[in-house]
């Protein structure tokens, strides 16, 4: 495998933006390329991740390309998914060996629709979507299963929210931050029991971008490149009925394949939009005490403004 590193990163995130996709992207892409030390014209591959359902407009990635500038013709791709998936494609592309840098970006304006309706469209259309269970209710089912199995308490969940908000104070892109006492959080009302406001993620609009560079070129342009030492992706079964909702075997398998499981880890940024999911993912990754989890503040910590 060819060594690939992230040499620069930039982002923009707000609860609701008055900018369109291109206006959000231009400053972030400009910044990430400048910081990469790679001239824009030398970037070998460009890939974006987004989901048209979020913004409510078809082929939004085509319009978003305006922010990149596609002349002379660039080598470009898009995934109808998130930035992590786009980053994976860039990493695979760099393994080909003929290019040594790639621009990855992801964008979305989730605030334009009602996420509780939008997210239903990702469900199985025959038996689940017609029941229209919104994503918070589905997460609540999972949290309830966790509580019933004795795998966590509502206090544990509030503690994760409190820690996330505290850590978010150092992150300019985080929405809600500050000191919150677990006792006070536990007085919050339920959004969907057992999930309280602080257990749920924010709705946000934003952009994230990274430049990936392979091998010696990465060492040349960046003092401390973040090397990607392992990468793997798995998915749980689509049908909720066949799963134990309290576990994430796909995460465990991906961690093993990527070489994380059981190794010494200092820090883990994990995607856990609901507080109880941090516990599921933490256990699936085999992270032990002493690992700094989501020092950025993570994906919880800010309530949906509609809740």
Partner 1 sequence: MSEPSDPVRRIKAPVRLEYSITPGQTLSRFLAGVIEGRLLGRRCPSCTKVYVPPKGACPTCGVPCVDEVPVADTGTVTTFCIVNVPFEGQAMKLPYVYGAILLDGADLPLLHLITGLPADQVRMGLRVKADWLPPAERRPTLESIRWFIPTGEPDATFDSYKEHL
Contacting positions for partner 1 (CB under 8 A): 16-23, 25-26, 29, 40, 53, 55-57, 65-71, 109, 112-114, 117-118, 121, 125-126, 129-130
Mutual angle of helices 154-168 and 275-285, in 10-degree steps: 90
CB of 15 to partner 1, least distance (A): 13
Nearer to partner 1, 16 or 233 (CB): 16
Which of the 8 DSSP states describes residue 299? S
CB of 122 to partner 1, least distance (A): 11
What gap in Å lies between CA 164 and CA 91, rounded to an integer?
A: 29
Nearer to partner 1, 48 or 248 (CB): 48
Count of CB atoms situated within 10 Å of the CB of 165: 23
Instruction: Name the token pair of 293.
Output: 């989890």
CB of 208 to partner 1, least distance (A): 18
Nearer to partner 1, 21 or 199 (CB): 21
What gap in Å lies between CA 206 and CA 270, rounded to an integer?
A: 18
Nearer to partner 1, 111 or 164 (CB): 111
Nearer to partner 1, 74 or 84 (CB): 74
SS3 for 89? helix
What gap in Å lies between CA 255 and CA 258, rounded to an integer?
A: 5
Mutual angle of helices 275-285 and 135-148, in 10-degree steps: 60
CB of 107 to partner 1, least distance (A): 12
């Amino acid at each position: 495998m060819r060594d690939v590193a992230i040499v620069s990163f930039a982002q923009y995130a707000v609860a609701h933006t008055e900018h369109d996709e291109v206006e959000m992207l231009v400053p972030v892409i400009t910044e990430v390329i400048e910081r990469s030390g790679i001239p824009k014209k030398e970037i070998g591959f460009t890939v974006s991740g987004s989901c048209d359902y979020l913004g409510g407009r078809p082929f939004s990635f085509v319009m978003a390309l305006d922010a990149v500038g596609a002349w002379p013709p660039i080598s470009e791709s898009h995934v109808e998914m998130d930035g992590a998936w786009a980053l994976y494609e860039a990493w695979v592309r760099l393994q080909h060996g003929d290019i040594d840098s790639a621009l990855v970006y992801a964008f979305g304006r989730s605030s334009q629709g009602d996420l509780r309706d939008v997210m239903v469209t990702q469900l199985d259309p025959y038996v689940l979507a017609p029941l229209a269970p919104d994503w918070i209710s589905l997460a609540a089912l999972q949290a309830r299963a966790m509580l019933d199995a004795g795998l966590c308490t509502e206090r544990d969940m509030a503690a994760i929210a409190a820690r996330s908000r505290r850590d978010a104070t150092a992150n300019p892109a985080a929405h809600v931050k500050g000191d919150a006492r677990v006792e006070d959080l536990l007085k919050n009302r339920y959004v969907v029991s057992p999930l309280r406001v602080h257990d749920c993620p924010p709705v946000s609009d934003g952009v994230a971008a990274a430049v990936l560079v392979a091998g010696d070129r990465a060492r040349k342009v960046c003092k401390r490149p973040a090397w990607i030492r392992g990468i793997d992706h798995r998915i749980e079964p689509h049908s909720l009925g066949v799963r134990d909702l309290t576990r994430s075997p796909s995460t465990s398998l991906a961690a093993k394949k990527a070489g994380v499981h059981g190794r010494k880890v200092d820090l883990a940024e994990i995607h856990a939009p609901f507080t109880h999911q941090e516990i599921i993912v933490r256990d699936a990754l085999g992270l032990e005490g002493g690992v700094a989890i989501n020092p950025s503040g993570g994906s919880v910590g800010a309530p949906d403004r509609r809740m």
